[in-house]
Amino acid sequence: MFKNFFPNKIISLKYSIIKKLLILMMLIFFVALAFALFFSPPDYIQGETVRIMYVHVPSSFIAISCFAIIGLASILNLIFKIKIMPIIAKSLAPIGSVFTLISMVTGSLWGKPTWGVWWVWDARLTSMLILFLFYIAYIIVWKLISSYQTANKISSILAIIGLLNLPIIKYSVDWWNTLHQPSSITLTSAPTIHFEMLIPLIIMLLGMVLFLLIIFLMKYKTELMKIKLKTGNKKY
């Protein structure tokens, strides 16, 4: 499977494949949104506001996992000097930052009717904002530093430091008192979310992951082509 992400495979990636993925994604979203907006029940306390969760939770999950991949790719990049790693990381950063933004916006749209405030400086919300700033800094480093080698090094170190923020985000709700509620879905115990709500949530997550994959493939291909143009036809 990993071979499919090799540069020459990606560069010859045809648009028809992306188109097929797009159609699949639309189908999944159609089902997911139908469930999320119409067929799933309202919550016993929050009422209809709970439907924001179907966007908020998957986008937060993707925002965090995206940065985890960027961080791991940066570690492999610094230690083993694997040449495709920085390109993978670089291609994931914009989409990850957008998902972080979606997570924060939907979160505050939910927070106003539920908590009574748009934003508070509790540990979960603040660490999520820090993640967003890391994404922005990561993108800016690539944009502003013209030397590829320098940008590569600085951005990798930045991503590795940002990696340490991820467990803080994850466990902030357990380590400290926060306004944000603890996780409903954990590996160790049964989910505290009713299955009628859990199923649309999972389908929604599936659709968003597919969306992430499509955008990533397109961006990754563009980045590879840019490098190919710059370096001529040298083997990468």
Partner 1 sequence: MFVKKVKLRAIFLLSFLTIISIIIFLILKSLEENVVYFFSPSDIYNKSNISFNKKIRIGGLVKKNSIITKKTSINFIVTDYKNEIIVTYNGIVPNLFAEEKGVIVEGLLNDKKYFVATTILAKHDENYMPPEVASSLNNIKN
Contact 7, 84 (CB under 8 A): yes
Give the amino acid at 199. I
Of 16 and 189, the one with the shorter C-beta distance to partner 1 is: 189
- Burial class of residue 18 in the structure, from the number of CB atoms within 10 Å of its CB (0-12 exposed, 13-18 middle, 19+ buried): middle
User: CB 1 → partner 1: shortest distance, Å?
Assistant: 25
Contact residues: partner 1, CB under 8 A: 41-46, 50, 53, 75, 78-80, 113-117, 120-123, 160-161, 164, 168, 176-179, 181-184, 192-194, 196-197
- Residue (of 41, 36, 68, 70) closest to 53 by Cα position: 36
Of 72 and 98, the one with the shorter C-beta distance to partner 1 is: 72
User: CB 133 → partner 1: shortest distance, Å?
Assistant: 15
Of 125 and 224, the one with the shorter C-beta distance to partner 1 is: 125
User: CB 33 → partner 1: shortest distance, Å?
Assistant: 18
Of 9 and 196, the one with the shorter C-beta distance to partner 1 is: 196
Of 116 and 232, the one with the shorter C-beta distance to partner 1 is: 116
Of 19 and 41, the one with the shorter C-beta distance to partner 1 is: 41
Cα–Cα dist 201/36, whole Å: 7
User: CB 37 → partner 1: shortest distance, Å?
Assistant: 15
Q: How does DSSP assign 139-167, residue by residue?
A: HHHHHH---HHHHHHHHHHHHHHHHTHHH
User: CB 7 → partner 1: shortest distance, Å?
Assistant: 22
In our burial notation (b when 16+ CB lie closer than 10 A, e otherwise), range 49-77 reads: bbbbbbbbbbbbbbbbbbbeebbbbbebb
Kindly report each contact of residues 222-226 with a partner whose C-beta sits within 8 Å and lies 24 or more positions away, as own/partner: 222/91, 223/87, 223/90, 223/91, 224/7, 224/10, 224/11, 224/87, 225/11
User: CB 65 → partner 1: shortest distance, Å?
Assistant: 20
